[in-house]
Chain A
Amino acid sequence: MGNFAHTPGEYDPISYVPHVESHGTKELWKTFWLLLGITILDFILYFSLAPSMFRNSVFIFFGLVKAYYIVGAFMHMKSEKINLALCILVPTVFIIGLVMGLLYEGHALSTY
């Protein structure tokens, strides 16, 4: 309810800045070690698996996991309002769908 503390008359869209409290640095360092760990895992898998569609899928999956932690923890998306999260993430899902569709179509170029 803290967000609704100001009365409508006081609200100025241009100068309004919400007050944010610090959540400490513990989660941030945890995210750092996680991202570092996944990158090292990328490095190990690159040399231990032969190039294949499976390996590529693993790398893309790891990329999406890293993206989740960067956006969620570093960009504070986890603590934003759900309205904002949907406004930004739903179009991103559409982008991923578009990329997959166009890459599938691009594959047809090899048979041409």
Chain B
Amino acid sequence: MANQTSATFENQAMWAGGRSPFNLSYGKLMMWIFLLSDAFTFSSLLVGYGAIRFSYSGSAIPWPDPSAIFNHFPFMHGYFLPLLFVSLMTFILILSSVTMVLAVEAGHRNSKKEVSKYMFYTILGGLAFLGCQAWEWTQFIHDQGRLDSNFFGITHQGYDHLKQVKFGDHFHWNPGDRTWGPVPFASLFFIVTGFHGFHVFSGVVLNVIIWINTIRGTYERRGHYEMVEKVGLYWHFVDLVWVFVFTFYYLI
């Protein structure tokens, strides 16, 4: 009985002021709330994507199969390698998430040297991802994908051609395989991956700022590396969004 009373008292006292009910710093709580609002934004893009894509089911020129378009790999020109490059990009982003969380862990031990080392790796991972995305965009634009037009309306002949191609084969489009297709496919590709890429870019900028501050000893003087945790949350969120872009844009 006594235990129950003290538990109730503690629960009330938690919200009675004079302490942080979440046991979080102000900045970290605000970062969580920002990430929640950012999740709203990306969900709205997902809803728009899904609704538009559904509206093309049963149309004469169907929504293109992503593996028909994103099947290139750097230095492997002319080979049919769908999904391989995007999987590599996913791997890069997951790896940079790990180095980020290692930086956070090193921050808990107040190890300036390790925090700056892992922040540097994280920045490299982010830049590598952005480079991959730039390459992917270049390839798609080269194949006549535009914000306002899309040359990936794949005809029956084109799908018959694709059925004969196996992973790793030589592949080039024949005349008549492609025609002008659903415009929103291209616009949504640029908008969704561009919006995510811009988040990655902002994340890299934030990481660079935190990295410089770490090297300059700002957090050592402050006594804690909480700022690393805050940008870490943002960075992991960017990784999280990519998981869903990968699922909905490339797998489904």
A46 in contact with B240 (CB, 8 Å)? no
**Looking at the complex, which one of A20, A32, A56, A99 makes contact with B108 (CB distance below 8 Å)?**
A20
Report the minimal beta-carbon distance from B73 to chain A, rounded to whole angstroms. Answer: 13
Please indicate the chain B residues that have their CB under 8 angstroms from the CB of A31 in the complex: 98
**How many A-B contacts if CB must be within 8 Å?**
161
Which residues of chain B come closer than 8 Å to A106, judged between CB atoms? Answer: 47, 50-52, 54-55
Decide: A17 near B40, CB < 8 A? Known: A46-B83, A110-B55. no
Contacts of B224 in A (CB 8 A): 17, 19
- A79 shortest CB reach to chain B, Å: 10
Contacting residues of chain B (98-144) with chain A, CB-CB under 8 angstroms: 98, 100-102, 104-105, 108-109
Contact B108 A21 (CB under 8 A): yes
B236 touches A28 (CB 8 A): no
Interface size class of A (residues with CB under 8 A): 35 or more
Alpha-carbon distance A6/B43, docked complex (angstroms):
40
B55 CB, nearest partner CB in chain A, Å: 4
Q: Does B57 contact A (CB under 8 A)?
A: yes
- Closest residue of A by beta carbon distance from B66: A46
Q: Which residues of A contact B1 (CB under 8 A)?
A: none
Residues of chain A within 8 A (CB-CB) of B10 are 4
| Contact across chains for B102 and A25 when beta carbons are under 8 A apart | yes
**Binary CB contact string for chain A from 95 to 111 against chain B (1 if under 8 A, 0 otherwise):** 10011001101110110
| A residues apposed to B, CB below 8 Å | 3-4, 6, 8-9, 11, 13-14, 16-25, 28-29, 31-32, 35-36, 39-40, 42-43, 46-47, 51, 56, 59-60, 62-63, 66-67, 70-71, 73-76, 80-81, 83-84, 87-88, 91-92, 95, 98-99, 102-103, 105-107, 109-110, 112
Q: A19-B224, A25-B102, A59-B251 are in contact. List 7 more A-B contacts (CB 8 A).
A: A16-B26, A20-B108, A63-B244, A70-B240, A76-B229, A80-B24, A81-B24
